[in-house]
Amino acid sequence: QVQLVESGGGLVQPGGSLRLSCAASGRSFSSYGMGWFRQAPGREREFVTAISGSGGNTIYAASVKGRFTISRDNAKNTVYLQMNSLKPEDTAVYYCATARFLWLRRDGDSYDNWGQGTQVTVSS
């Protein structure tokens, strides 16, 4: 069983940056991919980005491509989400999760071991 803990959320002005972290405990971290999802009030959870176990492959939602960057440090059992040029529509609770399959996917059913989430609010 893998346990995930997100951190790094907060309040930021439009155009600002934040870096989220997701620390994992449990089985070999580098053996599985990781994903970030978000959920805004009144909206369904949506895919943000994912990264393979080695870190060599990444995928992004169109809404964040070019602004967000996912990375991982397998020595620290941690995956990161660098968010730049933040917009009010990025406001949501952000969750990390472990990928169930080798091939990176965008649907939530392909992920498990969800963290508790961290709130990101973009507002002036």
Q: Look at residue 86 in the predicted model and tell me its pLDDT.
A: 98
Judge contact between 99 and 111, C-beta under 8 A: yes
> Using CA atoms, how far apart are residues 51 and 32, in angstroms rounded to an integer?
9
For the stretch 104-122, pLDDT in tens is: 999 999 999 999 999 999 9
Whether residue 74 is predicted with pLDDT greater than 80 in this model: the reply is yes
For the stretch 24-38, pLDDT in tens is: 997 789 999 999 999
In the predicted model, what is the mean pLDDT of residues 59-84? 97
